[in-house]
Amino acid sequence: MLERLSTGCRGLDEQLEGGIEIGASTLAYGEPGSGKTSLAIQLSKKVISSGKKSIFIDTEGVSFERIKQIFGETNTADLIILEPKDQGELYQSISDPRLIQPDVGIIVVDTINAHTRLAYALDKEGCEAQFLKILMALQNISINLPMSIFMTAQIFERNGEIEPYFGRTLVYMAKTLLLFEKGEAPSLRHSRLMKHRSIAEGSVSDFLLTDQGLE
Protein backbone atom coordinates (compact mmCIF):
# COMPACT_ATOMS: atom_id res chain seq x y z
CA MET A 1 0.00 0.00 0.00
CA LEU A 2 1.47 3.33 -1.08
CA GLU A 3 1.75 5.99 1.59
CA ARG A 4 -0.30 9.11 1.01
CA LEU A 5 -0.17 12.72 2.17
CA SER A 6 -3.65 14.10 2.74
CA THR A 7 -4.45 17.25 0.77
CA GLY A 8 -6.80 18.50 3.46
CA CYS A 9 -9.60 18.54 0.87
CA ARG A 10 -12.10 15.68 1.14
CA GLY A 11 -12.96 15.60 -2.56
CA LEU A 12 -9.32 15.45 -3.66
CA ASP A 13 -8.45 12.88 -1.02
CA GLU A 14 -11.29 10.66 -2.22
CA GLN A 15 -10.18 11.07 -5.83
CA LEU A 16 -6.58 10.19 -4.92
CA GLU A 17 -7.54 7.46 -2.43
CA GLY A 18 -6.04 9.27 0.53
CA GLY A 19 -3.95 12.09 -0.95
CA ILE A 20 -0.83 12.60 -3.04
CA GLU A 21 1.76 9.86 -2.96
CA ILE A 22 4.78 9.98 -0.67
CA GLY A 23 7.93 9.02 -2.55
CA ALA A 24 6.60 10.26 -5.88
CA SER A 25 5.96 13.45 -7.82
CA THR A 26 2.57 15.04 -8.46
CA LEU A 27 1.92 17.74 -11.06
CA ALA A 28 -1.11 20.05 -11.02
CA TYR A 29 -1.68 22.25 -14.05
CA GLY A 30 -4.47 24.58 -15.10
CA GLU A 31 -5.38 28.18 -15.76
CA PRO A 32 -4.51 30.95 -13.29
CA GLY A 33 -6.83 31.03 -10.29
CA SER A 34 -7.79 27.36 -10.53
CA GLY A 35 -6.33 26.46 -7.13
CA LYS A 36 -2.85 25.13 -7.89
CA THR A 37 -0.88 27.44 -5.60
CA SER A 38 -3.50 27.16 -2.86
CA LEU A 39 -3.08 23.37 -2.91
CA ALA A 40 0.70 23.79 -2.77
CA ILE A 41 0.34 25.94 0.35
CA GLN A 42 -2.22 23.58 1.85
CA LEU A 43 0.05 20.55 1.38
CA SER A 44 2.87 22.48 3.04
CA LYS A 45 0.60 23.20 5.98
CA LYS A 46 -0.33 19.50 6.31
CA VAL A 47 3.33 18.48 6.33
CA ILE A 48 4.31 21.12 8.89
CA SER A 49 1.37 20.15 11.10
CA SER A 50 2.77 16.60 11.12
CA GLY A 51 6.11 17.84 12.49
CA LYS A 52 8.17 18.08 9.31
CA LYS A 53 9.39 20.94 7.12
CA SER A 54 8.27 22.13 3.70
CA ILE A 55 10.69 23.42 1.08
CA PHE A 56 8.64 25.82 -1.06
CA ILE A 57 10.43 26.83 -4.27
CA ASP A 58 8.56 29.91 -5.47
CA THR A 59 9.19 31.07 -9.04
CA GLU A 60 6.24 33.43 -9.43
CA GLY A 61 5.98 35.47 -6.23
CA VAL A 62 3.62 33.66 -3.87
CA SER A 63 1.34 35.90 -1.80
CA PHE A 64 2.40 35.86 1.84
CA GLU A 65 -1.11 37.02 2.70
CA ARG A 66 -2.43 33.86 1.02
CA ILE A 67 -0.02 31.76 3.06
CA LYS A 68 -1.30 33.38 6.25
CA GLN A 69 -4.91 32.77 5.21
CA ILE A 70 -4.40 29.05 4.61
CA PHE A 71 -1.97 28.41 7.47
CA GLY A 72 -4.17 30.09 10.06
CA GLU A 73 -2.66 29.28 13.46
CA THR A 74 -0.07 26.88 12.00
CA ASN A 75 3.48 28.16 12.54
CA THR A 76 5.23 29.17 9.31
CA ALA A 77 8.72 28.80 10.81
CA ASP A 78 9.16 25.42 9.10
CA LEU A 79 8.08 26.76 5.70
CA ILE A 80 11.39 27.35 3.90
CA ILE A 81 10.86 29.52 0.83
CA LEU A 82 13.43 29.67 -1.98
CA GLU A 83 12.96 32.22 -4.76
CA PRO A 84 14.95 31.43 -7.93
CA LYS A 85 14.82 34.20 -10.52
CA ASP A 86 15.60 32.12 -13.61
CA GLN A 87 15.95 28.50 -14.69
CA GLY A 88 19.62 28.39 -13.69
CA GLU A 89 18.77 29.51 -10.16
CA LEU A 90 15.94 26.97 -10.08
CA TYR A 91 18.45 24.21 -10.80
CA GLN A 92 20.67 25.57 -8.01
CA SER A 93 17.68 25.56 -5.66
CA ILE A 94 16.96 21.91 -6.45
CA SER A 95 20.60 21.18 -5.53
CA ASP A 96 20.32 22.95 -2.15
CA PRO A 97 21.39 20.48 0.59
CA ARG A 98 18.44 21.59 2.72
CA LEU A 99 16.17 19.65 0.36
CA ILE A 100 17.52 16.25 1.35
CA GLN A 101 17.33 16.49 5.13
CA PRO A 102 15.33 13.81 6.97
CA ASP A 103 13.02 16.40 8.55
CA VAL A 104 11.73 17.58 5.15
CA GLY A 105 8.33 16.14 4.26
CA ILE A 106 7.61 17.84 0.94
CA ILE A 107 9.29 19.82 -1.81
CA VAL A 108 6.97 22.19 -3.64
CA VAL A 109 7.89 23.86 -6.92
CA ASP A 110 5.39 26.57 -7.82
CA THR A 111 5.75 26.94 -10.81
CA ILE A 112 8.13 24.38 -12.37
CA ASN A 113 8.03 25.83 -15.91
CA ALA A 114 7.73 29.55 -15.12
CA HIS A 115 11.16 30.38 -16.54
CA THR A 116 11.27 27.98 -19.47
CA ARG A 117 9.78 30.28 -22.11
CA LEU A 118 12.57 32.82 -21.71
CA ALA A 119 15.27 30.18 -21.25
CA TYR A 120 14.05 28.35 -24.37
CA ALA A 121 14.09 31.55 -26.43
CA LEU A 122 17.67 32.27 -25.38
CA ASP A 123 19.11 28.76 -25.69
CA LYS A 124 16.84 25.96 -26.89
CA GLU A 125 19.19 23.03 -26.35
CA GLY A 126 20.58 24.37 -23.09
CA CYS A 127 17.08 24.97 -21.74
CA GLU A 128 15.92 21.46 -22.61
CA ALA A 129 19.00 19.84 -21.05
CA GLN A 130 18.77 21.89 -17.86
CA PHE A 131 15.02 21.34 -17.48
CA LEU A 132 15.56 17.59 -17.76
CA LYS A 133 18.28 17.80 -15.08
CA ILE A 134 15.87 19.65 -12.78
CA LEU A 135 13.18 17.00 -13.18
CA MET A 136 15.64 14.12 -12.80
CA ALA A 137 17.04 15.66 -9.61
CA LEU A 138 13.53 15.93 -8.17
CA GLN A 139 12.73 12.38 -9.22
CA ASN A 140 15.87 11.05 -7.55
CA ILE A 141 14.96 12.85 -4.32
CA SER A 142 11.45 11.38 -4.32
CA ILE A 143 12.76 7.87 -5.00
CA ASN A 144 15.46 7.90 -2.34
CA LEU A 145 13.77 9.85 0.45
CA PRO A 146 10.33 9.45 2.07
CA MET A 147 8.86 12.73 0.91
CA SER A 148 6.42 14.07 -1.64
CA ILE A 149 7.25 16.25 -4.62
CA PHE A 150 4.45 18.61 -5.67
CA MET A 151 4.78 20.77 -8.77
CA THR A 152 2.49 23.24 -10.49
CA ALA A 153 2.75 24.19 -14.14
CA GLN A 154 1.72 26.92 -16.54
CA ILE A 155 -0.35 25.78 -19.50
CA PHE A 156 -0.98 26.32 -23.19
CA GLU A 157 -3.70 25.13 -25.55
CA ARG A 158 -2.99 22.85 -28.51
CA ASN A 159 -5.67 21.46 -30.80
CA GLY A 160 -8.31 22.36 -28.24
CA GLU A 161 -6.52 20.50 -25.43
CA ILE A 162 -5.03 22.11 -22.32
CA GLU A 163 -1.47 20.91 -21.67
CA PRO A 164 1.37 21.96 -19.37
CA TYR A 165 3.89 24.16 -21.17
CA PHE A 166 7.07 22.18 -21.93
CA GLY A 167 4.85 19.30 -20.99
CA ARG A 168 6.24 16.20 -22.70
CA THR A 169 9.01 15.69 -20.14
CA LEU A 170 6.80 16.82 -17.26
CA VAL A 171 4.04 14.38 -18.17
CA TYR A 172 6.54 11.53 -18.46
CA MET A 173 8.31 12.23 -15.15
CA ALA A 174 5.31 12.98 -12.91
CA LYS A 175 3.57 9.95 -11.43
CA THR A 176 0.28 11.82 -10.91
CA LEU A 177 -1.21 14.47 -13.18
CA LEU A 178 -4.10 16.69 -12.11
CA LEU A 179 -5.81 19.18 -14.40
CA PHE A 180 -7.53 21.94 -12.42
CA GLU A 181 -10.45 23.75 -14.06
CA LYS A 182 -12.71 26.61 -13.03
CA GLY A 183 -16.40 25.81 -12.55
CA GLU A 184 -19.43 27.93 -13.38
CA ALA A 185 -19.88 29.14 -9.81
CA PRO A 186 -17.26 31.69 -8.64
CA SER A 187 -15.54 29.42 -6.11
CA LEU A 188 -16.22 26.05 -7.77
CA ARG A 189 -13.25 24.16 -9.17
CA HIS A 190 -12.80 20.74 -10.79
CA SER A 191 -9.88 18.34 -10.51
CA ARG A 192 -9.51 15.95 -13.43
CA LEU A 193 -7.22 12.94 -12.90
CA MET A 194 -5.14 12.68 -16.08
CA LYS A 195 -2.56 10.14 -14.94
CA HIS A 196 -1.93 7.89 -11.95
CA ARG A 197 0.04 4.69 -11.53
CA SER A 198 -2.55 2.88 -9.38
CA ILE A 199 -5.89 4.66 -9.92
CA ALA A 200 -7.99 4.69 -13.08
CA GLU A 201 -7.67 7.92 -15.03
CA GLY A 202 -10.52 10.22 -15.96
CA SER A 203 -12.27 10.82 -12.63
CA VAL A 204 -13.42 14.36 -11.84
CA SER A 205 -13.65 15.77 -8.34
CA ASP A 206 -15.29 19.06 -7.37
CA PHE A 207 -13.98 21.36 -4.66
CA LEU A 208 -14.39 24.93 -3.46
CA LEU A 209 -11.55 27.44 -3.50
CA THR A 210 -12.05 29.57 -0.39
CA ASP A 211 -10.07 31.97 1.79
CA GLN A 212 -9.01 28.97 3.87
CA GLY A 213 -7.87 26.92 0.89
CA LEU A 214 -9.41 23.94 -0.92
CA GLU A 215 -12.55 22.54 0.67
pLDDT band at 117 (very low <50, low <70, confident <90, very high): confident
Q: Tell me what pLDDT residue 162 has.
A: 80
Other Cβ atoms closer than 10 A to 32:
10
What proportion of the chain, given as a percentage, has pLDDT over 90?
77
In a domain, 26, yes or no: yes
pLDDT digits (tens, 9 = 90+) for 148-164: 999 999 988 887 788 88
In a domain, 112, yes or no: yes
Q: Tell me what pLDDT residue 159 has.
A: 79
List the helix and strand counts (H, then E) for the chain: 7, 13
Average pLDDT in the 55-73 region? 96
pLDDT digits (tens, 9 = 90+) for 8-50: 999 999 999 999 999 999 999 999 999 999 999 999 999 999 9
In a domain, 15, yes or no: no
In a domain, 124, yes or no: yes
Instruction: Note the helical H segments in the chain.
Output: 10-15, 36-49, 64-71, 87-94, 116-122, 124-144, 167-173
In a domain, 79, yes or no: yes
Q: Tell me what pLDDT residue 92 has.
A: 92
pLDDT band at 1 (very low <50, low <70, confident <90, very high): low
Is residue 75 predicted with pLDDT exceeding 90? yes
Q: Considering just the CA atoms, what is the radius of gyration of the chain in Å?
A: 16
CATH number at residue 120: 3.40.50.300
The reported pTM is 0.95
In a domain, 29, yes or no: yes
Structural domains counted in the chain: 1
In a domain, 7, yes or no: no
Q: What is the domain range of residue 143?
A: 21-183
In a domain, 14, yes or no: no
Separation between Cα atoms, residue 125 and residue 114, nearest integer Å: 17
Is residue 195 predicted with pLDDT exceeding 90? yes
